[in-house]
Chains A and B, each alone.
Chain A
Amino acid sequence: MELEELQASWIAMSQELEKQKRLTNEIILKMTQDRFQKKFSTLRSFETVGAIICYIMAGMIFFSFEKLDTWYLQTSGVLTIGFLIVLPTFVLKSLKKIQNLDILNGSYKENLLIYIKEKNKLLRLQQIGIYLSYLLLFLVVPVFTKIISNKNIFLSNFKPLQGVALFVALVLMFFFTRWGYRSYKKITNSAEDVLRDLES
């Protein structure tokens, strides 16, 4: 379909829409109510739910910190808290920037630039998160075993079943990381094209 054909089709569709104007004032005013906005609240996004879970876990470690009675458990606890707070905070900040685009005064081009840059940033953070989760796996298990069961995993005998569980977890994480990286490359490559186009 050439542009001229598309235009003809578009005009025909516009004329149909003109004939079918059926929205009433009552329906329109319903759409302006605040309760509707709740549907778009950032609380609904996976990232925000994830961040809240991370903050709760960080809080649990913080308020039970005295249970971590050796230097290595304390170090693991501090690193885990840092991981659980810093990364989600960056993600939320990036999401907020997207939510707060200047719809009124910003041009389409400016907003699209901000959107693509923030989306790239979000994807990068997610990638970093995935790689850091390998490290976190070795930090979070001893910390929470100590907090919940009061057992020092480093002083316990390593059982074969634990080894199998760790191996399965690492294999699953490997496939998840590979899938995440491929998706990341696909999205960012196309985003980079638009960015180059916008900045040219």
Chain B
Amino acid sequence: MSNKEEFADIIREHQGLLYKVSAIYTNNEPDREDLFQDIVYQLWKYFDSFRNESKISTWMYRVAMNTAIIHLKKVKRTPTSESITDSQIQISDVKDEVFEERMRLLHQQIYDLNTLERGIMLLLLEGKSYQEISEITGLKPSNVGTRISRIKQKLRENMTKA
């Protein structure tokens, strides 16, 4: 199997992960698609550097979340002739109205969380252990626990306000 084919297979296998990372850091469809494509590009750029020292998904989370940080700087763009359009990549086929509704509800909840907390929240929702969250974010495992308690508190406060 060629390197490109192997990469494409891995992306196909983990595309849900990439959609979720893209969704949690953006709040509109064009930005979400831009971030998704940028993450795939960055993963391909560094694919040869992956050495099986960690799980492929852990490596993907790290690259995807770091890419999302750079994306925070970018402003909303209008589509250009150079961009890959929906019709070409068919990302819009992957989600539906139910997905959009769930994302809308989720965004309502995470709106008040800062970027660090959003990252932790994403990994927590993905069922990652404190150790794995620590490995991906660079926080100490004990620190992860403290922050998760704080996030829970914020969510409760949001619920009271709503």
Contact = CB atoms under 8 A, between A and B. Distances in A.
A12 to B, nearest CB: 7
Interface string A6-34: 11011011101110111111011111100
A159 interface: no
A145 interface: no
Nearest to B136: A108
A59 B51 CA distance: 49
B16 A14 contact: yes
B46 A9 contact: no
B contacts with A: majority SS: helix
Nearest to B64: A103
Nearest to A9: B102
A148 interface: no
A109 B106 contact: no
Interface of B: 4-5, 7-9, 11-12, 15-16, 19-20, 34, 37-38, 40-42, 44, 46, 49, 62-63, 65-67, 69-70, 72-75, 77, 80, 82-84, 88-91, 93-96, 98-99, 102-103, 105-106, 109, 114-116, 119, 124-126, 136-139, 151-152, 155-156, 159
Interface of A: 1-3, 6-7, 9-10, 12-14, 16-18, 20-25, 27-32, 35-40, 44-46, 95, 98-99, 101-104, 106-112, 115, 119, 190, 193-194, 197-198
